[in-house]
Amino acid sequence: YEVKIINPKEQKDQFDKIRQLRMLQDQNEDMQEDDMFDLLYIMQEEKLAASTMLVFKDNTVFITNFLVSSIMRGQGFGTIFFNEVIKYVNSKGVKKVFVFAGCSSLGFWMKNGFKNENETFQMEYGEVPVIRFDIQ
């Protein structure tokens, strides 16, 4: 599989296409126009196999909407995709990665090295509990 990266400011049409596949309209209210964010995705036979939005703020990244298609789950594909995401953000100089602590896939994140240390992340609408992954 090849992980593809979209910068929405440079590739708006492709970004909109993938966003529609993900049905993300208006789900990213916390993203501001000046935030730097990228969309990473993998297609398999013209279908979206996995994707995630990365929001970059101050040498950290916030993983949002991490999605692995139902037919790819339970085979280690999410971990493979996550490792590719980490390679990408590491190449950008990021050392801390966050996800929402209250997400339904908390077990997945903990299995992949995230730590729950009762941290919060400041979003537009207030502070939210997060778990953290430190890149070595």
Structure tokens at 88: 């990408």
* Percent of the residues in the chain that have a pLDDT greater than 70, as a whole number: 81
Domains contained in the chain, CATH given? 4-134 (3.40.630.30)
Q: Can you tell me which residue has the tokens 């979209």?
A: 6
**Per-residue model confidence as pLDDT tens digits over 20-49:** 665 543 444 444 454 578 888 888 887 788
Closest CA to 86 of 74, 76, 98: 98
Question: From CA 8, how far away is CA 6, in angstroms rounded?
Answer: 6
The closest alpha carbon to 41, from 74, 85, 9, belongs to: 85
Tell me phi and psi for residue 83, to 5 degrees. -60, -35
Identify the pLDDT of residue 90: 93
What percent of the chain clears pLDDT 90, i.e. is strictly above it?
26
Distance, in Å, from the CA atom of 19 to the CA atom of 57, rounded to the nearest integer, reads 21
Place of tokens 């009762």: 118
Can you give the pTM of this predicted structure?
0.72
Of 62, 55, 56, give the one whose Cα is nearest residue 101. Answer: 62
